[in-house]
Copies of this chain bind each other. A is one copy, B any other.
Amino acid sequence: MKFGIYLPSQIEDKKLPVIYWLSGLTCSEANFIEKSGAQRYAQEYGVVIVNPDTSPRGLNISGDKDNWDFGEGAGFYVDATEEPWKKNYNMFSYVTKELIEIISTNFNVIEGTQSIMGHSMGGHGALICALKNPGLYQSVSAFAPICNPSKCAWGRKAFEGYLGPQETSNWSDWDATELVKVYNGPPLCLFIDQGAADKFLQEEQLLPNNLVEACKIAKVPIILNKREGYDHSYFYISSFIGEHIKHHSGYLQK
């Protein structure tokens, strides 16, 4: 598994907190490194940023390269239960356990002081990683996340493939809009960013209003920032990544 890591210069003198970034469909670890412009903010706020790939690669599982929204580049941050995926497609465990251990063992970071954010499929990933592990992350944010995967085409396809049919498997364990309803842990505010001109919003792949409604009922605080005129691209991400890093930094450096 490849990942990117940005180490600000302060790390030579002291341990720093970590923000994890989870990328969206079709991305490798390269997109965020090359296009987000996050580095200067990581330096400014003194945080390490770690960004893993979006799936295992090179396994040559039958069908893993046939779809841009399933298989390679589309691990969906779940632990698969279905064949032929369940042995390797365990992105949830990788991100929330193995990767954290690799980072704390090999870099000068403050163990246990970390936040998580992501984009689109990775926004979904960030939300479920935080909601399923109360207290593991100090804060969570997402750009244009897939908020209710059980109810959109991308999510249904992925869940069907990795988790099995909705009727016989527990999709709600992997769906942020369902998970907020049963969240039971330290206070956690969901910071959601959404471009108003995002075509995937219009195509109902993202469904942020479902998450907002669920948060209201569950009394989980949520901030939904609508950005007029912005689409789903890395240009949109690079425009607001500084705000997100600043947001997390407030939680990480108290």
Contacts and interface: CB of A to CB of B under 8 A. Distances in A.
A155 B65 CA distance: 42
A37 interface: yes
A35 interface: yes
A234 interface: yes
Interface residues of A, number: 9
A160 to B, nearest CB: 34
A238 interface: yes
A238 to B, nearest CB: 7
A167 interface: no
A39 to B, nearest CB: 8
Contacts of A40: 37, 238-239
B37 A234 contact: no
Nearest to A238: B37
A34 interface: yes
Nearest to A31: B34
Interface of A: 34-35, 37, 39-40, 234-235, 238-239
12 contacts: A34-B34, A34-B35, A34-B234, A35-B35, A37-B37, A37-B40, A37-B238, A39-B235, A39-B238, A39-B239, A40-B238, A40-B239
A36 B40 CA distance: 12
A238 B38 CA distance: 11
Contacts of A239: 39-40
Contacts of A34: 34-35, 234
Nearest to A38: B37
A244 to B, nearest CB: 15
A235 B235 CA distance: 16
Nearest to A242: B40
A200 to B, nearest CB: 20
Nearest to A35: B34
A183 B149 CA distance: 64
A106 to B, nearest CB: 21
Contacts of A235: 39
Given A34-B34, A40-B239, 10 more contacts: A34-B35, A34-B234, A35-B35, A37-B37, A37-B40, A37-B238, A39-B235, A39-B238, A39-B239, A40-B238
Nearest to A233: B34
A49 to B, nearest CB: 14
A121 to B, nearest CB: 20
Contacts of A234: 34
